[in-house]
Structures are given as structure tokens and as C-alpha cells.
Structure 1
């Protein structure tokens, strides 16, 4: 049962990420997210990096509360959130934005789809008119671009 809680939370986080990205990061906290769309700061610490703390602190609190209460459901929810956060760091910061040069020349259609959708998101430098607010799941048209290319 605990495994299902962790996995379910991980997948629910994708929907939460889309909502938070669209309505919080491109909404009332745009002042923190703006520099992520400004390429003059590429490769350096950004105000956007504060979102790590904003998301990590409640996760740590849930993990602590779940631990001191005999590893209740809150602990396993926190584990799912933490795993999603780690996936986000590796895919978004390392793979997509190349903060650490890794998988630059991948031919994997799924990874290329994620990278392309994220580039579409960043083509809009303002907070309005954005697209592709998700992270691990992107619109099907981006998957088709790369999966169909490999079948030819």
C-alpha cells in the first residue's frame, strides 16, 4: 500500500506542477520565475531557484511529521514528492538546461520530446501566452515529432 501512495503521489505531482507552473510561477510569483525565461543569466543561480526551497520545506515538514507518527501516510506522500523533485532536478536542470553537461546528444525520442516542448515554453519571454507547463508529460504533438522520425 505504501508503494502505491508513493507512486500515486509522484504522478499526481505532474498535474500539480502544471497548475503551479501556469498559475503561480507565471502568475503572482512571476517576479521569482521571470529570470528563468531571461537567457542573460543562463548557467548562474536564478531567483527561480528559490522555488526549490518553496517546494522542499513543506515536503520536509510532511516527511518529519510522518516519521514521528510511525511512518504514516504523510511520510509516503513526502517520499513521492521528493522523488518527483529529484526527477525534476535531473531532467529540467541537468538534461534540459544543461547546468551539468550530460546527455547532450541523446537520440531518445521521449527525452527529445520533453526538450522540444520545454523550448516551446521558453520561446515566450513574458508570463502570458505560455504553453507546455508540464514536465514529464508534454502535448502529444511533440512525441509524434520524434517517435515518427525514428520509424522512417
Structure 2
């Protein structure tokens, strides 16, 4: 029974991170921390590193805190929460930074309906260079209008 609870907490955390990513993107990145996110929409630097990457670091620290709570305090559910946050971070980095933005030149030939829809939706978001009017969505939740043939 314990493994079932662990799996449920892990899956719930992973899915919950999709909502958290949407909320953070819409209200924090395109809100009061636009200064950190703006270089993701308009490249004003020559570095591979973006100020926007600090959001990834923030969530990595949160995941590490949960791992430490599990290890040092024996809080059993802290492990699947930390692992769920980590797994979402890996998935998000793979889809957003590698697949969509090609920070590493792999997954270039993915041309299935899902891949095209995600790319199309993200392209529509990035056509807005300012902090207002950018449609926000998650990695797993993308409006169906972007999946046309």
C-alpha cells in the first residue's frame, strides 16, 4: 500500500507542477518578475545562460529541499514530492529548452501531430515580445486549436 501512495503523490506532484508552471508563467514571469523572463522573449545577451534560467534553479532548490526533508526528517511523502518536481523539471527542460528552443540540437526531426502543435503554440506565445498579451499554457496542456493538420 505504501508504494501505491508513493506513486500517487509522485504523479499528483508531477501533474500539479503543470498548473504551477502555468501560474508562474502567467502571473510571475509575465508579471512582477518580467525582468528575469524578458530575455527569453527578446535576446538581449550573447550568453547561452538566460536570466530566465533562474526560474529553473528556483524549482531545483525546492526539489532539493524536499529530498533533504525526506533524508533528514524522515518525512516519507517528501521523497515523491521532490522526485515529482525533479521529473517535471526534466520533462519541461526536454520539451521546452531542447525540443522547442533547440538549446541542444536534438529532436529536430520530430514531426508528429503533438510535436507540431506544441511548436505552433509556443511560437504564437513568443510572437509577443512584451509582458502583456502573451497566451500562457503548460507543457502538457496546449489548446486544441494548435493541433490542426
Tell me, yes or no, whether TM beats 0.5.
Answer: yes
Asked if 2 retains the 8 angstrom alpha-carbon contact of 1:88 and 1:135, the reply is yes
Secondary structure in 1 matching 2:20: helix
The alignment of Structure 1 onto Structure 2 pairs a total of residues equal to: 145
- Which blocks of at least 5 consecutive residues in structure 1 are unaligned? none
User: 1:130 aligned to 2:126?
Assistant: no
- TM-score, normalisation: structure 2: 0.90
Cα distance in 1 between the residues matched to 2:47 and 2:114: 24
Q: 1:61 to 1:81 in 2, by over 3 A?
A: same
TM superposition shift of 1:52: 1.5
Cα distance in 2 between the residues matched to 1:94 and 1:67: 32
Asked if 2 retains the 8 angstrom alpha-carbon contact of 1:2 and 1:76, the reply is yes
Q: CA-to-partner distance for each residue in 1:86-126, whole Å, 9 max, x for gaps? A: 00111111000001111212221112111111111101000
Q: 1:23 to 1:42 in 2, by over 3 A?
A: farther
- TM-score, normalisation: structure 1: 0.89
Q: CA-to-partner distance for each residue in 1:4-63, whole Å, 9 max, x for gaps? A: 110111011111110000000000110000000014548721111111211111110111
Cα distance in 2 between the residues matched to 1:100 and 1:133: 23
Q: Which residue of 2 aligns with 1:107?
A: 111
Q: 1:18 to 1:128 in 2, by over 3 A?
A: same
**Structure 1 residue runs of 4 or more that deviate by more than 4 Å after TM superposition:** 40-43
